[in-house]
Chain A
Amino acid sequence: MAEDNQPSKKKFSRRKFLKRSAIVLGGTVVATYLARRPIRRLIAETVEGLDLPSIISTYKPMFWFEVRDDNTILMKSPKVEMGQGIFTGFAMLAAEELEITLEQIEVQHASTGNGPVDRMATGGSNSTSSLFVHIRQTAAIMREILKLAAAKHWGVAPSEVTVQNAIISSGDKRITYAEITKITSNWEMPSTPKLKPASSFKYVGKEVKRIDLKQKVTGAPIYGIDHHLPGMLYAVILQSLYIDSTLKSIDTTDAEKSAGVVKIINQKDLIAVVAQNRYAAETALSKIKAEWDVPKKWHQREIDEMVTVGKGTGTSVQNEGDAEDVIEKNPQLVFKQEYRTPMAAHAHMEPNGAVAWVQQDKATIIIGTQAPDMVRKQVADALNMSKDDVIVEVAFPGGGFGRRNNLNNAAQAALISKIMGKPVHVFNTREQEFLNAYYRPNTHHLLKAVITKDGKVQAITHDQATPDMMIKTMAGGTALSLLGADFISAGHGANIIYNIQNKSAKVWQAETPVNIGIWRSVGIFPNSFAIESFINELAHKTGKDAIALRIELLSGNGQINKRYINVLKTLQAKSAWGQPKAPGTGCGVAIANDRKTIAAAVIEVSVANNQILVTKVTHVTDVGFCINPEGVRMQIEGCIMMGISAALYEGIYVKDGQIATSNFHQYPLATLKDTPQIETFILSGADEPYGAGEPPLGPIAPAVAAAVFDATGKRLRSLPLTPIP
């Protein structure tokens, strides 16, 4: 980041900045939170017309920070900490401008009742990048307000006031943030403070451990499932175990007699057992005799056929030059391959669910969710209540990966609480998580290239067939029809990043009966597997080194080209690429650009007795400006392990109208045994931060597949990779 670089590309007009700084007023409420009515009104009035990042709601004054009596700061985050480490990054950013230590700040989830609300969801690897400027501005203005108050209190010029570690001083006078907050009633707004240059950062750019470590190693009750309210009952919901089925008949006689049962709720669209404890609820659920009407018992073969390039209409997402024409005119030079990826489960460790307490005039929901504002709306709709009367308290989710985006479980919990007149705890069983979830879609890819006689790639096309991941559920079927295909999420990464004169990419919209949703890295996972596998095949076919070919095809004058080349050359230098290999071992490479973060990996495997073992991963990621290398490294490691797991083991299949996986014994995941040696290298090829939670996943599966080919001479073009004996 350049020395004098204020938020790049975000130069505000004065008017705009004033408006923006007013959000920040939300932040200053911090200081003025109690008994500062005039300021609160002023803020309420100002905030209404704000020009805010679109992800943050504006309909109420927002309280980003609170100064607490012990002179620490509480930051309320609109984004959800699912394990990706954003709270630590937020604390670092805020601490820089607040002039406090990292021990002096705590970050909690904002509840919809007390803090900034995120109207979208936490995801897309954009939590930190979207708030990178915003948090610092908010913090800087708050610091200045506190300083101005102290200057006024002492009768000195503001320029004579300094601050360090939440203590304001002037000459030999000292006052803490907490003290000045207590004694000030009239707050003055500062002029726009300049943000600190990167050269003055104390924390940003340094290796910082997670700020939630203590809670997480002592087993603090921080997850939704851990919450307990006085008088709380436990419920489980009867869920269909068949795809596209409706309830035909139900007999609850035995369930009602089951020990500990308080009530069997038997309504249209909601059948639930409510009991004194979870065990009693689960036991009674197993005694409900339900018959399902399953008009068609689906099989995986049919689902695969539905997801096939050429079925339905394809929507062009990239078209440069005239790739299709070049291919048509040179049939003898065409090289083509097909790839498939299966459906997959999120398998997050804490099953979905919520604690709900619906009272006469308000409803409280405690939930680990990626989308608190959506939960609020769903609950308000289900209860026919005003959104204002629904408070969503966000708990730490036990994993997210896309599986906590769009669920009706909070609304169901709220309905049960309303019926019972008591707080209720309603969580899925693991079987329900596997059998009645939404999944990463299965995909089919067709890649074609024209290779000239001198080994040049003259044209390339990529066709991806995929069900919709998000558009239909979030914006409706009409939106999907208008778009033609879900190229935003499912088709993310379908385009070709390589400098090939003629290139095109199409996404074919498939319809399947299975519920589909976002899975970590969205479309990058299947698309990188297909495209990068194909590039590796092109390298082999043209007799070129797979890194050299990529360097050749990614060179150029743009900043992005320089970043690609830097990543690839770093990888070449730091990995075992090109070094001699033992028999039965192999080495593969892949690269991906996921929302401006560039990630590439060289992966080494050994294959013996038809077992693939990943032995080493050398991973290079350019995340742009890096706020916390330790935090980014953790995400890279997580992506490597999830990538290995998905590449080697994971698949969700349909059999006899059901998902054929009911628990972890049918869904093996990578365990400690699968842990390779890992070396990570983080590059900063830009002065603004990009995402780190998902992009490092892109290159893993195709690099493993390439390494298996290198070791065995066998091309595996479907996931999960199973060596052919």
Chain B
Amino acid sequence: MQIIFNINGKDVTVDVDASMPLLWLVRDELHLKATKYGCGKGLCGACTLHVDGQAFRSCSLPAVYVAGKQVTTLEGLSEANNKLHPVQQAWIEENVPQCGYCQPGFMMAAAQLIQQNPNPTEEDIKNNITNICRCGTHPRIIKAIKRAAQIQQSVKPATNGRG
């Protein structure tokens, strides 16, 4: 079926099976590869992206769900092409990734967390982010989320509803 939606600020029309997981639509039809396949069952969070500003695990979201909605992937997280989102800046400052595969999902989950909770405590972070990382970047992810919150507060609110 034809699905019209907005992705990273651009309107797109796709013709796919309505039940195709959003993950594969984004990756293989729209060729935005930052959103990762990890488990296909909404368990690991590698495929996390935002729909109308809310974090979703896109492997378990049918394509039809996003009709008429705004989808943001890591590629569209920063407002301008050459400017990184506070989460991405913090990820660089804390030197977070190892293999890096799970990090887009963590960054998308973190971006939503600091938008909803501009000053999360360590407990808030631990309770809210349930993604999986196998390389063991956990301690740096926690530090980076705290730092991202600080960066976000030090700049003008960077999100406009699609962050």
Using a CB–CB cutoff of 8 Å, the interface residues on chain A facing chain B are 82-85, 209-210, 212-223, 225-226, 228, 234, 259-260, 277-280, 282, 346-351, 396-401, 427, 429-431, 630, 634, 637-642, 645, 663-665, 669-675, 678
Query: Lowest 6 A-B CB distances belong to which pairs?
Result: A219-B34, A641-B136, A83-B99, A398-B101, A638-B136, A216-B100
Pair A277/B126 contact, Cβ less than 8 Å:
no
Pair A213/B92 contact, Cβ less than 8 Å:
yes
Pair B34/A349 contact, Cβ less than 8 Å:
no
In the complex, what residues of A have CB within 8 A of residue B137's CB? 634, 637-638, 641
**Cβ-based interface call for B142 (8 A):** yes
- How many chain B residues sit at the interface, stated as a range, is 35 or more
List 10 A-B pairs, Cβ < 8 Å: A83-B97, A212-B97, A217-B107, A228-B31, A279-B20, A349-B99, A430-B39, A430-B44, A672-B130, A673-B126
Smallest beta-carbon distance B92→chain A, Å = 5
In the complex, what residues of B have CB within 8 A of residue A226's CB? 27, 33
In the complex, which of the residues B96, B100, B130, B139 has the most CB atoms of chain A within 10 Å of its own CB atom?
B100
- Contact residues, B86-125 vs A (CB, 8 A): 88, 91-92, 95-104, 107, 125
Pair A663/B31 contact, Cβ less than 8 Å:
no
Pair B17/A280 contact, Cβ less than 8 Å:
yes
Pair A277/B24 contact, Cβ less than 8 Å:
yes
Pair A672/B31 contact, Cβ less than 8 Å:
no
Question: Given the interface contacts A349-B134, A350-B36, A401-B134, does A672 sit within 8 Å of B129 by beta carbon?
Answer: yes
Pair A671/B138 contact, Cβ less than 8 Å:
yes
Smallest beta-carbon distance B154→chain A, Å = 19
CA distance A285 to B143 in the complex (A): 42
Smallest beta-carbon distance A202→chain B, Å = 20
Pair B37/A209 contact, Cβ less than 8 Å:
no
Smallest beta-carbon distance B90→chain A, Å = 9
In the complex, what residues of A have CB within 8 A of residue B36's CB? 223, 225, 349-350, 398
In the complex, what residues of B have CB within 8 A of residue A645's CB? 136
| Cβ-neighbour of A672 out of B75, B92, B103, B141 (below 8 A) | B141
Pair A430/B142 contact, Cβ less than 8 Å:
no
Pair B28/A278 contact, Cβ less than 8 Å:
yes
Smallest beta-carbon distance B4→chain A, Å = 19
Question: Given the interface contacts A279-B21, A349-B134, A672-B138, does A665 sit within 8 Å of B41 by beta carbon?
Answer: yes
| Cβ-neighbour of B28 out of A209, A213, A234, A349 (below 8 A) | A234
CA distance A477 to B44 in the complex (A): 38
A interface footprint on B54-79 (CB within 8 Å = 1, 0 otherwise): 00000000000000000001110000
Question: Given the interface contacts A279-B17, A348-B134, A401-B134, does A675 sit within 8 Å of B142 by beta carbon?
Answer: yes
In the complex, what residues of A have CB within 8 A of residue B44's CB? 349, 430, 664
Pair B104/A396 contact, Cβ less than 8 Å:
no
**Cβ-based interface call for B53 (8 A):** no
Pair A399/B99 contact, Cβ less than 8 Å:
yes
How many A-B residue contacts, CB cutoff 8 Å? 178
In the complex, what residues of B have CB within 8 A of residue A397's CB? 99
Pair B139/A678 contact, Cβ less than 8 Å:
yes
Residue of B nearest to A643 (CB): B136
Pair A634/B46 contact, Cβ less than 8 Å:
no
In the complex, what residues of A have CB within 8 A of residue B139's CB? 637, 641, 675, 678
| Cβ-neighbour of B126 out of A219, A399, A641, A672 (below 8 A) | A672
| Cβ-neighbour of A277 out of B28, B39, B46, B132 (below 8 A) | B28
**Cβ-based interface call for B133 (8 A):** yes
CA distance A399 to B101 in the complex (A): 8
A interface footprint on B138-152 (CB within 8 Å = 1, 0 otherwise): 111110000000000
CA distance A645 to B96 in the complex (A): 19
| Cβ-neighbour of B99 out of A82, A218, A282, A665 (below 8 A) | A82
In the complex, what residues of A have CB within 8 A of residue B20's CB? 277, 279
Residue of B nearest to A221 (CB): B33
Since A84-B98, A351-B37, A431-B40 are in contact, a sample of 6 more A-B pairs with Cβ atoms closer than 8 Å, ordered by chain A residue number, is A277-B16, A349-B101, A430-B38, A664-B43, A671-B132, A671-B138
Question: Given the interface contacts A277-B29, A672-B141, A675-B139, does A663 sit within 8 Å of B41 by beta carbon?
Answer: yes
Pair B40/A642 contact, Cβ less than 8 Å:
no
Pair A214/B92 contact, Cβ less than 8 Å:
yes
CA distance A399 to B39 in the complex (A): 14
In the complex, what residues of A have CB within 8 A of residue B17's CB? 259-260, 279-280
Pair A673/B127 contact, Cβ less than 8 Å:
yes
**Cβ-based interface call for B12 (8 A):** no
Pair A671/B43 contact, Cβ less than 8 Å:
no
Pair A630/B136 contact, Cβ less than 8 Å:
no
Question: Given the interface contacts A234-B28, A277-B29, A641-B138, does A217 sit within 8 Å of B103 by beta carbon?
Answer: yes
